[in-house]
Amino acid sequence: MSEPLKTRREREKQARYDTILDAAELVFSEKGYERTSMDDIARTASLSRALLYVYFKDKAAIQRGIMLRAGHSLFRRFEEARQTADNGLAQIRAMGESYYRFYLEEPDYFSALTKASTAMAEADESQAEEMLCSKSDLMELMVGAIELGLQDGTMNRDRINDPVQTALYLRGALHGVILLCQSEMGEGNPEFPAEQLIRHTMDMLTSSISA
């Protein structure tokens, strides 16, 4: 097969893959994951059901594809956040703020990533590897900022024995508070001070590792 023909076919395959995920995101948003069928997704994507199964073996595999998209979106946000600050502590703060904006601006993607660890266990080898790489890429950005903070003196060496563990702690703590805000707001508590709590959490987290 000639290279131009191969490239064109690869582009067409990628375009169809993206079309399916676009359609699934739309239908999941409108009907919910549980009430959505593969027929719904095929119809919205203007594809036959048989062709849909060529790309994804089931609805769960499509959902994992959306999770990968979510991971890539968050990676871009973290990458851009790091570029806005010169020192490690400020970069970690910027990434924390970008994570909260991710929750506000892309709630479906935030929700998808919340379920990603469970979904990874059910993925085939190829998809599981992609999801693991996406998770690793996010961690590398955070660990890189922490290592920079240790080098530039903005982070406390006595408090940070392991940059990886520290990155997990920071993200886990902020994620937990965001889920708390989500729960309170979802229970009809519009007066819940979500924005103030997030700011307070980031102040506490950064102060816990600052020099």
Residue 3 has pLDDT above 60, yes or no: no
Q: Which residue has the higher pLDDT, 177 or 187?
A: 177
Show the CA angle centred on residue 142, arms to residues 200 and 198, nearest 5°. 15
Please report, rounded to a whole number, the percentage of residues in the chain having pLDDT higher than 90: 77
Residue 37 has pLDDT above 70, yes or no: yes
* Spatial CA neighbour of 52 closest among 36, 64, 41, 63: 41
Structure tokens at 103: 């929750």
In terms of pTM, does the model score above 0.85?
yes
Residue 119 has pLDDT above 80, yes or no: no
The mean per-residue pLDDT over the stretch 56-71 comes to 93
pLDDT of residue 94: 97
- Output the average pLDDT for the chain: 92
The mean per-residue pLDDT over the stretch 118-132 comes to 81
Residue 121 has pLDDT above 80, yes or no: no
Residue 19 has pLDDT above 90, yes or no: yes
The mean per-residue pLDDT over the stretch 59-68 comes to 92
The mean per-residue pLDDT over the stretch 60-82 comes to 94
Whether 88 and 154 have beta carbons less than 8 Å apart is answered as: yes
